[in-house]
Structure 1
Amino acid sequence: MTFKVVSNSFKDGDYLDKDHILSADFGFGCAGGNRSPHLRWSGAPAGTKSFAVTCFDPDAPTGSGFWHWVVINIPASVTELVLDAGNPGSGKLPNGALQTRTDFGTAGYGGPCPPEGDHPHRYFFTVYAVGGNINANADTSAAVIGFQLHFNTLAKSAVMGLFKR
């Protein structure tokens, strides 16, 4: 069985609903609901000890993309994240999972909000099957998490959403 991720919130390649777009609270000029989408995965390889989830925009005008969400150490028994699990106040993240710092400077989901008039940006929601737990805390940067995932990932799968304003 192939490792695969799907979402009830959007289909691969579709535009993301306003519910998943950055809220006005962040001050970037968007007015969405800032709710992380539902994600479900299946077909994890043998030896999977945990999962990680990231949301990355490679099209951000930063020279290095933009990390919108990082979750690590999701227990191997978990096969989905429910709608709004990325909200630190929702209590919907599985026990043992840890959200770490995004490019917004804090842990938790921060939705898309590309520059006005820019081309559609791609948002890759990637699930990683990991051969252990990632050693980090809530302030660990996405780059450090990415480095650890590079050496500990058994399989990965992504679903991509688009957004333009």
Structure 2
Amino acid sequence: MTTLNNPFARLPEVPSFTLTSSTVADGEAFGPAQYSGLFGVPGGEDRSPQLSWSGAPEGTLSYAVTVFDPDAPTGSGFWHWAVTGIPASVTELAEGAGDETGSGLPDAALQLRGDSGAARFLGSAPPAGHGEHRYFITVHALDVADLGVGPDATPAFLGFNIFGHILGRATIVATAINNG
């Protein structure tokens, strides 16, 4: 993984585990369903990708899932999805689990408001002509069952709390481009 604008480049290295998706492969482009209709992308459905993971480090008590675009023209990237409180017994999220109700998430899970202001998955929507964007889809294995992060927390605050409790990290990097 390149260190150019890599959100994990300055964090301590932790063990990796396996993350797969029937929706998108590492290094490949998102399909239309993972683009943002809410942000006006024709055909976009704002459907969170299907995710499956295995081989998390021993002692994992919960997971958090984040989707981050470090290439957004904001100076600070763009958080598309942040979920915490996924029990250690859960190792898969169905496609679309991150809808506005979180209906596909475990009962204990909490979706935080991303940079769109909504507590849901927001699909990709790179500005026209801005080039390819990368989306770091990450499952974080944690040593606590509950990070104590409330519903008003930001994804950046979640990340700060993950930093002190991370046991392992698994990432798929998806891409998207708007040639419009």
Same fold by TM (over 0.5)? Answer: yes
Taking the aligned partners of 1:29 and 1:106, their CA distance within structure 2 comes to 15
* 1:19 counterpart SS class: helix
Taking the aligned partners of 2:35 and 2:101, their CA distance within structure 1 comes to 17
Which residue of structure 2 lines up, in the alignment, with residue 109 of structure 1? 121
Under a length normalisation based on structure 1, what TM-score does the superposition of the two structures give? 0.94
Q: CA deviation at 1:88?
A: 2.6
Q: CA deviation at 1:14?
A: 0.6
Which residue of structure 2 lines up, in the alignment, with residue 67 of structure 1? 79
Unaligned residue ranges in structure 1 (runs of 5+): none
1:131 and 2:163 matched: no
Taking the aligned partners of 2:136 and 2:102, their CA distance within structure 1 comes to 23
Q: What is the one-letter code of the residue matched to 1:46?
A: E
Which residue of structure 2 lines up, in the alignment, with residue 83 of structure 1? 95
Computed over aligned residues only, the root mean square deviation of the Cα atoms, in angstroms, reads 1.3
Consecutive aligned runs of 4 or more in structure 1 exceeding 2 Å deviation: none
* 2:162 counterpart SS class: helix
Taking the aligned partners of 2:176 and 2:163, their CA distance within structure 1 comes to 27
Unaligned residue ranges in structure 2 (runs of 5+): 1-14
Under a length normalisation based on structure 2, what TM-score does the superposition of the two structures give? 0.86
* 1:146 counterpart SS class: helix
1:30 and 2:44 matched: no
Which residue of structure 1 lines up, in the alignment, with residue 21 of structure 2? 7
Taking the aligned partners of 2:69 and 2:123, their CA distance within structure 1 comes to 10
- 1:107, 1:139 within 8 Å by CA — same for their partners in 2? no
Give aligned pairs, total. 162
Taking the aligned partners of 1:88 and 1:144, their CA distance within structure 2 comes to 21
Among candidates 35, 38, 46, match of residue 58 of structure 2 = 46
The sequence identity of aligned pairs, in percent, is: 44
* 2:126 counterpart SS class: coil
Which residue of structure 1 lines up, in the alignment, with residue 168 of structure 2? 155
